[in-house]
């Protein structure tokens, strides 16, 4: 029984990780990826409920707990930090940067000086 519960716990953990990898839009477009939270927390819960004092149980609880806590810290904490000084407000000059285009040429906003307007689009998505 202990081994089956620990395997279930690891399967739930793998499911949460797989969901992140196979459906990145869930992380990108959702404020909070609840399905991943549920799978990861369920993996910890099942590992804790497995009972016994086997080293395998402690290892499984430690692994699932560590992955869950790291995921929660990143998605709830670090990923939601204010970007403060990075934000550009209306009317402020755009900071200069240099990026390579899809045609392998280099682009910089300073190339557009003297023009009346420029539109910058930054895609934040899975492509």
Q: What is the pTM of this model?
A: 0.55
Give a yes or no: residue 49 inside a domain. Answer: yes
- Cα 112 from Cα 89, distance rounded (Å): 19
- Could you tell me what percent of the chain has a pLDDT over 90? 1
The 10 Å CB-count burial string (b at 16+, else e) for 39-53 is: bbbbbbebbeebeee
- Cα 89 from Cα 54, distance rounded (Å): 57
Instruction: Name, in order, each residue with C-beta under 8 angstroms of 33's C-beta and a sequence gap of 6 or more.
Output: 19, 20, 26, 27, 75
Give a yes or no: residue 16 inside a domain. Answer: yes
Helix (H, G, I), strand (E, B) or coil at 93: coil
Give a yes or no: residue 119 inside a domain. Answer: no
Domain count, the chain: 1
- Cα 37 from Cα 42, distance rounded (Å): 8
pLDDT digits (tens, 9 = 90+) for 64-121: 888 888 888 877 776 655 555 556 777 777 778 888 887 888 988 888 888 777 777 7
Domain of residue 35 covers: 2-80
Give a yes or no: residue 69 inside a domain. Answer: yes
Give a yes or no: residue 62 inside a domain. Answer: yes
| pLDDT of amino acid 97 | 83
């Amino acid at each position: 029984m202990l081994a089956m519960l620990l395997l279930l716990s690891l399967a739930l953990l793998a499911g949460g990780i797989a969901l992140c990898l196979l459906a990145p839009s869930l992380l990108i477009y959702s404020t909070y990826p609840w399905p991943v939270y549920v799978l990861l927390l369920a993996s910890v819960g099942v590992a804790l409920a497995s009972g016994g004092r086997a080293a395998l149980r402690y290892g499984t609880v430690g692994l699932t707990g560590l992955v869950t806590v790291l995921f929660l810290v990143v998605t709830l904490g670090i990923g939601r930090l204010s970007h403060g000084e990075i934000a550009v407000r209306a009317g402020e000059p755009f900071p200069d940067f240099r990026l390579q285009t899809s045609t392998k040429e280099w682009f910089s906003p300073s190339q557009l000086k003297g023009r009346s307007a420029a539109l910058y689009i930054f895609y934040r998505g899975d492509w």
